[in-house]
């Protein structure tokens, strides 16, 4: 059976209390706290590089999968199986286990066939392989990952899912090269920065043991420290864009220090950066905040979106879509 780790009542209470600082930020706060008491749902993405949704459904029904469509194309929630990563279809790369909110940043990125795309923090590869599928293995995807220990799992998923348009690199995201080996400027049509974060959006009081192992210690200090590195990363990601290029910044945390404050910093440092609205049919989102406690952010941050588990039963997420405006000739 799936091994669930139930956090002790005293520890759970302390952790729940941590979120009280967001009481004025998160609408329907009581419903939010109630949502944290429920275990994570199980979601999967059909790998259209290898199979259609219709064909996969027929195959998975034989194992007892009870599938329900999610409000994204080729995405499903499921119940009825104890080891969804132990089927032949999984190892053949017909589907990938991926939370709904994790599938949204590539959709917001809108990759177009033939484009050159950078995924700055790629491992374990869920979003990288999703982008490759959206491109039908055309163009070029650079999957960058700093942590050498995570490169193996990234390469495993690229191979398992049949991705052939992707090159793996190993740089600090904030130090990713701005020039190619011949010295020419290195620029991308699209950049995805799914930034390392404190991961508050992952928290539930009932979690699988593998999810619990990924959790970081929550604190304001940790969030502020993480924000420092995220600001460096988003500057480099934006500078790597072609003119009119698109950057998507996302995290799985609630802290404005790591979300709106990071994008606001980019807007203050790069006058050619602009935040664009995000439209997601069938997914209830909350606008990004323009102020929190002593912080005041650019008004355009209300075009970013926040995803909360009491509105969409998935991880909490923050997503901003940022365009590089053409340079003025004046």
Question: With 80 as the cut, is the pLDDT of residue 8 above it?
Answer: no
CA–CA distance, 324 with 242 (Å, rounded to integer): 8
- Within 13 Å and on the Cβ side, how many CA atoms surround 133? 30
Question: With 60 as the cut, is the pLDDT of residue 1 above it?
Answer: no
pLDDT score recorded for residue 329 = 52
How remote is the C-alpha of 147 from its chain's centroid?
17
First to last CA, the chain: 66
Supply angle C-alpha 317, 321, 324, rounded to 5: 150
CA–CA distance, 129 with 71 (Å, rounded to integer): 19
pLDDT score recorded for residue 291 = 95
pLDDT score recorded for residue 10 = 36
Run of H or E including 315 = none
Give me the mean pLDDT over the 217-225 stretch: 89
Supply angle C-alpha 290, 292, 295, rounded to 5: 85
The answer to whether the CB of 127 falls within 8 A of the CB of 102 is yes
Burial class (CB in 10 A: 0-12, 13-18, 19+), 17: exposed
Tens-place pLDDT, residues 16-42: 889 999 999 999 999 999 999 999 999
Tens-place pLDDT, residues 158-182: 999 999 999 999 999 999 999 988 9
Residue 252 falls in the annotated catalytic set: yes
Tens-place pLDDT, residues 246-272: 999 999 999 999 999 999 999 999 999
CA–CA distance, 302 with 287 (Å, rounded to integer): 5
**Threshold 0.85, pTM exceeds:** yes
Annotated catalytic residue, options 121, 197, 252, 289: 252
State the pLDDT confidence band at 203, using cuts at 50, 70 and 90. Answer: very high
The answer to whether the CB of 170 falls within 8 A of the CB of 147 is no
């Amino acid at each position: 059976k799936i091994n669930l780790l139930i956090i002790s009542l005293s520890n759970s209470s302390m952790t729940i209390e941590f979120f009280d600082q967001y009481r004025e930020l998160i609408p329907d706060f009581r419903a939010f706290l109630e949502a944290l008491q429920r275990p994570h749902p199980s979601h999967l993405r059909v790998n259209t590089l290898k199979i259609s949704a219709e064909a996969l459904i027929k195959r998975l029904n034989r194992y007892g999968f009870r599938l329900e469509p999610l409000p994204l194309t080729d995405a499903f929630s499921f119940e009825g199986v104890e080891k969804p990563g132990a089927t032949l279809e999984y190892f053949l790369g017909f589907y990938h286990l991926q939370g709904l909110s994790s599938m949204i940043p590539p959709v917001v990125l809108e990759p177009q066939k033939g484009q050159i795309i950078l995924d700055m923090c790629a491992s374990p590869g869920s979003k990288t392989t999703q982008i490759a599928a959206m491109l039908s293995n055309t163009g070029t995807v650079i999957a960058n990952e700093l942590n050498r220990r995570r490169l193996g799992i990234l390469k495993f998923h690229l191979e398992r899912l049949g991705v052939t348009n992707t090159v793996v690199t190993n740089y600090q995201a904030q130090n990713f090269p701005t020039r190619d080996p011949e010295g020419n400027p290195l620029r991308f049509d699209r950049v995805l920065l799914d930034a390392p974060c404190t991961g508050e959006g992952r928290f539930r009081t009932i979690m699988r043991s593998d999810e619990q192992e990924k959790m970081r210690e929550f604190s304001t200090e940790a969030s502020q420290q993480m924000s420092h590195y995220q600001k460096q990363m988003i500057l480099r990601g934006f500078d790597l864009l072609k003119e009119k290029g698109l950057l998507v910044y996302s995290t799985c945390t609630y802290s404005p220090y790591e979300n709106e404050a990071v994008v606001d910093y980019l807007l203050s440092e790069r006058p050619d950066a602009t935040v664009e609205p995000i439209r997601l049919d069938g997914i209830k989102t909350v606008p990004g905040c323009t102020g929190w406690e002593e912080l005041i952010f650019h008004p355009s941050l209300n075009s970013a979106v926040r995803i909360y588990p009491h509105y969409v039963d998935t991880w909490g997420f923050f997503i901003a879509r940022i365009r590089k405006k053409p340079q003025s000739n004046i």
